[in-house]
A and B are shown apart, each in its own frame.
Chain A
Amino acid sequence: MGFPHPNHPKETIVLSQYFGDADARTYAGWVKRGGYEALKKALGMAPEAIVEEIKASGLRGRGGAGFPTGLKWSFMPKGDHKPHYLVCNADESEPGTFKDRELMRWTPHQLIEGCAIGAYAIGAERCYIYIRGEFTEPWRVMTKAVEEAYTNGALGANVFGTGKRIDIVLHRGAGAYICGEETAMMNSIEGRRGNPRIKPPFPAVAGLFGMPTTINNVETLTAVSHILNRGAAWYKGLCLSSPKSTGTKLFSVCGHIMKPGNYEVTMGFPMKSLIHDLAGGMRPGRRLKAVIPGGSSVPIMNAVEAEAALCDYEGIVAQGSMLGSAGFIVMDDSADIVYEIYRLAKFYAHESCAQCTQCREGTAWTTKILERILKGQGKREDLDLLLDLSEQMTGKTICVLSDSCATPIVSGIKKFPEEFDAYLSRAKAPALAAV
């Protein structure tokens, strides 16, 4: 069991309001808190009107790419008489990210309601929620909540007596980061190896089981009921900086930080305050050295960039990185940047599906070269070799896992050259034993 923190006055609490409140997990408890009103309202609306409302809210995907959700929904064909599917991405495996886990553990009905509304809006009668295999506790909570939702008529053949059918099927993953990539996820649900598919065709045209499909992240879908309840204008108004980034966002903060946890703030909130006020700042006597803000697949930021950044899609780009899945990996001056980047490369090498040569070979070789540097056996040319490999790994593969491995490496070499130099010049003792 984790431990939700008391709300900080600077947070804007929408999605995380009931974290730590066990009663909110039950159907009755959720209804008592206003739950399922949005679904009832949605079922009385035309699907197109829901899509328009979500478009107007400015909601963008919280799974990493930030694609506008309403626009994505509008790509689903109309009047095609084919089954449509909604897939909820609960594979959360991006290092540094642990928000979807908490959303499912504490507010399963918030997600079920969002999935039901999303399914109805895109003309789907079935939604698959793909939960990573390691999430045993969220799985148990979600299983119970889905059962309760069926018992109470919020799911099934005749949702709330409207004659509309919405089913939710929970599908358990089995240990593969790559299945978080949307086309790999579809293969995994179909009972195949989790290899990403070549696009086009895009999922809205030919997705799960060859049918029109929309895939959304857990956090994206949990925002939907709030938008329907309180209106697109309210959601759009939650914005401190760029008008292209609206609403609230859960930021997972971990690593070298006093109060690790999920913090919900309005888009555009200053990263400096998020790290130093809300998350309690550095351990005594330590200074901030670096932050990887998007989960691990984005450029590393130095302390100056991090403390200048505004937390939204545009604000983090302006400081040389990306919002990604908004998991902040915080490092203080005791961190060994070279080692942490090596450990991330090892992660990507382990998780590559090995379909594309650049990724299969690139993730493995960059890991080996970084390992050599950490063993005190690096050569000066190794940095050029790493940069060259990274370039070959970027923009050339079916999915972006390969790019994700290259990104922290390239930015690490550029922004922390002295840390690599310390190993290459043998000024620093090897971090790994030479064998």
Chain B
Amino acid sequence: MSGTAHAARHDAPDQPVFVGQVKDKLEALFPSYPTRMACLLPALWMVQEARGWISPDAIAEVATVLGLTPAYVRGVATFYTMYHLHPVGRHFIQVCGTSPCHLCGSDEVMKAILQQTGCGEVGATSPDDRFTVIEVECLGACGFATPILVDDDFHDSVTPERVAGVLARYP
């Protein structure tokens, strides 16, 4: 992995996530649910927001914090496609490829993104670790084809011509 800030973060030994503000944020959720287990999806989101991905150490930590076993937490985390169980590039791009968007030319958008990010193929991370690109199923925005998500930002009506402008916003 190259020496970007994000990659360095991936390589660092895991420090606990649930300290300070993140711990407070999680504990503030407890009264909203009758069980601790119900805080599992929110807790996994908090890890991913803090770290960029969910490492085995983080899974163990979530298990401890919520009184679950690591195997259980892993079993749940693997069910949901938005949790990254491996490090990804600094910016994570999700491109819709389901039929309604396909009808409107999502293949061409995907081609342009793969080429201009340097990712080359779907699922790959660019050599400079800047982008990871995946194809996803319907984003619930089919009237605004082709929608893409870059990290938490939603971009609608992306065409091959607009790709460069969107990517430029993510150094």
Contacts and interface: CB of A to CB of B under 8 A. Distances in A.
Contacts of B102: 339-340, 343
Interface string B144-171: 1100010011101000000000000000
| Complex A-B, nearest 6 residue pairs according to Cβ-Cβ distance, in ascending order | A191-B40, A175-B82, A174-B80, A175-B81, A191-B37, A260-B143
Interface of A: 1-3, 83, 92-98, 100-101, 132-137, 167, 169, 171-177, 188-194, 209, 252-256, 260-262, 296, 327, 329, 331, 335, 339-340, 343-344, 347, 350-351, 353
A330 B100 CA distance: 8
A296 B34 contact: no
Contacts of B145: 254, 260
A7 to B, nearest CB: 16
A144 to B, nearest CB: 15
Given A93-B140, A167-B32, A209-B34, A329 B41 contact: no
B99 to A, nearest CB: 5
A171 B43 CA distance: 11
Contact of B76 (A192, A329, A343): A192
A194 B79 contact: yes
A253 B143 contact: yes
Interface string B7-40: 0000000000000000000000000111101111
A339 B45 CA distance: 36
Given A137-B154, A174-B81, A344-B99, A97 B142 contact: yes
A137 B76 CA distance: 25
Given A175-B81, A255-B103, A136 B149 contact: yes
13 contacts: A1-B156, A98-B143, A134-B94, A136-B152, A172-B41, A174-B80, A175-B80, A176-B80, A177-B137, A260-B142, A260-B143, A329-B99, A339-B102
A98 B137 CA distance: 13
Given A96-B100, A101-B140, A176-B81, 14 more contacts: A94-B138, A100-B140, A133-B80, A174-B41, A175-B81, A188-B41, A191-B38, A254-B100, A254-B142, A255-B103, A327-B142, A343-B98, A343-B102, A350-B137
B124 interface: no
B141 interface: yes
B79 A83 contact: no
B125 to A, nearest CB: 19
A136 B97 CA distance: 19
B41 A134 contact: no
A347 to B, nearest CB: 5
B138 A93 contact: yes
A3 B147 CA distance: 13
A134 B140 contact: yes
A262 B143 contact: yes
A139 to B, nearest CB: 9
Contacts of A344: 98-99
Nearest to B83: A174
Nearest to B156: A2
B139 interface: yes
Contact of B41 (A2, A83, A135, A191): A191
A194 B41 CA distance: 11
A329 B140 contact: no
A252 B143 contact: yes
